[in-house]
Amino acid sequence: MLNLIRTNSDDPVFISLVKKLDADLAERDGADHAFYSQFNKIDKIKHAVVAFENNEPIGCGAMKEFMPDSMEMKRMYTAPLGRGKGIATAVLTELEKWAAELSYKKCVLETGKRQPEAIKLYEKNGYKNIPNYGQYIGIENSVCFEKELNK
């Protein structure tokens, strides 16, 4: 059974999952990892979701305010044993629901071309490709998306 818990970046389970995410990304990103990691600090994140399957932490995601009307999705991760089971979609859906409850109108995010499963996840969940924003402008490996939230 999947259980989703709303929390924040002080949660030790969330922190442990993010460490696994960072290790995975360091391998995928290679020399580009230092550039991306500077934008992935988790201190002061007020909105995070941790997924538990049979009481074991299996995935996470977080969001932070991007603009007054939008949240940026961050730190999405599913442990290898949990992949392909809809866990990432459940976490993403919970984050979107939370953003809507907080009166945000849309969500934005950045992922890398070296994470094709992430791109597939976001497209499957209604995210549309947009021009790279902010620090990702001109970054060849970055892909940015947005999704309008329905209330």
| Region class of 9: left (phi > 0), else alpha (psi between -120 and 50), else beta | alpha
87: helix, coil or strand? Answer: helix
The pLDDT value given to residue 150: 80
- Domains of the chain with CATH codes: 2-148 (3.40.630.30)
Residue 21 to residues 2, 15, 39, 59, 96, Cα–Cα distance (Å)? 20, 10, 14, 10, 21
pLDDT in tens, 97-137: 999 999 999 999 999 888 899 999 999 999 999 999 998 99
Q: Which residues of the chain have pLDDT under 70?
A: 28-43, 151
Residue type, 96: E
DSSP label at 102?
Answer: T
Is-contact 47 104, C-beta < 8 A? Answer: no
Half-sphere exposure (Cβ direction) of 117: Cα atoms closer than 13 Å: 13
CA dist., res. 126 & res. 149, Å (int)? 10
Is-contact 142 108, C-beta < 8 A? Answer: no
The pLDDT value given to residue 123: 98
CA nearest 2: which of 97, 94, 125, 74? 94
pTM of the model: 0.90
90: helix, coil or strand? Answer: helix
The values of phi and psi at residue 80, to 5°, are -50, -40
